[in-house]
Amino acid sequence: MRHLLIFFLLILTFSIPVTAIPPKKPVKNLSQDEILRQKALRIQRSAIVIDTHNDITSPIVDDDYDLGTPSVGKYHTDLERMQKGGMTGEFFSIYVSRSYAKEGGASRRALDMIDIVYRQAERHPEKLVMAYSTADIRRAKRQGKIAALMGIEGGHAIENSLMALRSFYRLGIRYMTLTHSNTNDWADASTDEPRHNGLSDFGKEVVSEMNRLGMLIDVSHVSDKTMSDVLDISTAPIIASHSSAKALANHPRNISDDLLKRIAKNGGVVMVNFFSGFISQEYIDARKVRDEKLKPELEILNQKYKDDPKKLEEERDKLFQANPLPKVPLSVLMDHFEHIIKVAGIDHVGIGSDFDGVPDLPTDMEDIAQLPNITYELLKRGYSEQDIKKVLGENLMRAFAKAEQVAQISTRQVSGQGSLKRLKIEKK
């Protein structure tokens, strides 16, 4: 009986049709491009990704815009697209227009913008967290949040006061662009008449005090001589928060190869600006021709809306939109990354988009959600995952950490008189 049972079980087992075993699903053959894009997204998700210059702060203040509101087609930045772009840390620009240097109220404007960054973080605590250090940035990464940092754009915001500089640091400012497009009372700008042959004596004090505080010194917008003076003085790595290579596009805002090499020797980082008008010589030349052609109409607008800056900007934008400039391919932007890598080294380049501060961006880099395209393009050009992570954020983290270290170990003592010193401006 037992043998019969075994016999029937064997018959039953071997009589099961092979088709009862589900066939394996065919594996889709991915193209090399698809494999590369998937790898780029994986790197982007795992990396520390930092953009050192985003001007969305101005629309938040002036237009009552909220980062939680989708803004495709209007702005380059919102929280949803920041997450898509893989952002770890964003330096919100505390931009103070040169008009405040003439009319007054520069520090107040900076305070208003600082306050709005804090309010955005309070409004969106599940996505955004205030950060003040490299440790805070890495903590935000572990929490799956975006670290909100701040940098002042325009040294006139301190109103010639080291006390104001220290106060801004206490409020969370972690870099300051020494000038904007205007030469101020202590530093020459790249696009204005020089008055100090670089840095004045007080300007040198500002640099030393920033080193003591652990505030990164930003040389975007400054003249070559100012940049050289900073490199002579600074004991911590400096940054260019949003600059590009002058060898590829001859704009005064861009950095020469000689200065790129000096920044590398200093341990600093040049964060590449995305604006078409800073990276494409073809665009720069076409813009000159267009602006000359439109000069009479622009003069009429300037006169008509001289008391209404916002309306003037709107009308100028309409005029420019009716006279478009050539679109710049993404490859041109990537050429700036690669040139700085070749001249200064892989440890000295990063991302400084200038999103929401510029009118035109390259194809496939029209907003912050497209940041993974940088990773993809670097992979295409043969860069390793380790090197790409340096460009995405680790280079900035190294320079920032060194600035923190310099501040901690500094033995420089500031006397009571020196710490309270305020620049005396001679009346003309």
Residue 31 CB: number of other CB atoms within 10 A? Answer: 8
Residue with tokens 């003040």: 132
Whether the predicted pLDDT of 421 surpasses 60: no
Residue type, 266: N
Whether the predicted pLDDT of 258 surpasses 90: yes
**pLDDT, mean of residues 119-128:** 98
Q: Which two tokens stand for residue 3?
A: 């043998």
Q: Please, are residues 399 and 52 in contact by the beta-carbon 8 Å criterion?
A: no
Whether the predicted pLDDT of 55 surpasses 80: yes
259-276: string of b/e by CB count within 10 Å (b at 16+)?
bbebbbebbbbbbbbbbb
DSSP code at position 199: B
Least confident of 206-220, 246-260, 294-308: 294-308
Percent of the chain with pLDDT over 70: 89
> What's the confidence (pLDDT) of residue 409?
76
Mean pLDDT taken over the chain:
92
Residues of the chain with CATH 3.20.20.140: 31-280+327-411
Angle between helices 330-344 and 257-266 (to 10 degrees): 60
Least confident of 8-17, 44-53, 80-89, 377-386: 8-17
> What's the confidence (pLDDT) of residue 411?
46
Transcribe 216-271 into DSSP letters.
Answer: EEE-TTB-HHHHHHHHHH-SS--EEEEE-BTTTS--TTSB-HHHHHHHHHHT-EEE
Could you give the CA distance from residue 398 to residue 387 in angstroms, rounded to a whole number?
13
Residues 353-371: pLDDT tens digits? 999 999 999 999 999 999 9
Residues designated catalytic: 53, 55, 153, 180, 221, 242, 354
**pLDDT, mean of residues 247-260:** 98
Sequence-separated (6 or more) residues with CB below 8 Å from residue 247: 256, 257, 339, 343
Tell me the β-bridge partners of 245: 255
Whether the predicted pLDDT of 412 surpasses 50: no
> Phi and psi of 177, rounded to 5°?
-75, 115
**pLDDT, mean of residues 58-63:** 96
pLDDT band at 14 (very low <50, low <70, confident <90, very high): very low
> What's the confidence (pLDDT) of residue 9?
46
- Please say whether the dihedral angle defined by the alpha carbons of residues 153, 280, 341 and 259, taken in this order, is positive or negative: negative
Residue type, 68: G
Torsion (CA) 191, 197, 201, 207 in degrees, nearest 10: 50
> What's the confidence (pLDDT) of residue 307?
87
pLDDT band at 414 (very low <50, low <70, confident <90, very high): very low
Q: Please, are residues 173 and 157 in contact by the beta-carbon 8 Å criterion?
A: no
Q: Please, are residues 177 and 215 in contact by the beta-carbon 8 Å criterion?
A: no
Q: Which two tokens stand for residue 169?
A: 């640091």
DSSP code at position 23: P
Residues 64-92: pLDDT tens digits? 999 999 999 999 999 999 999 999 999 99
Residues 132-166: pLDDT tens digits? 999 999 999 999 999 999 999 999 999 999 999 99
- The model carries a pTM of 0.89
Q: Which CATH class is domain 31-280+327-411?
A: alpha beta
**pLDDT, mean of residues 294-321:** 92
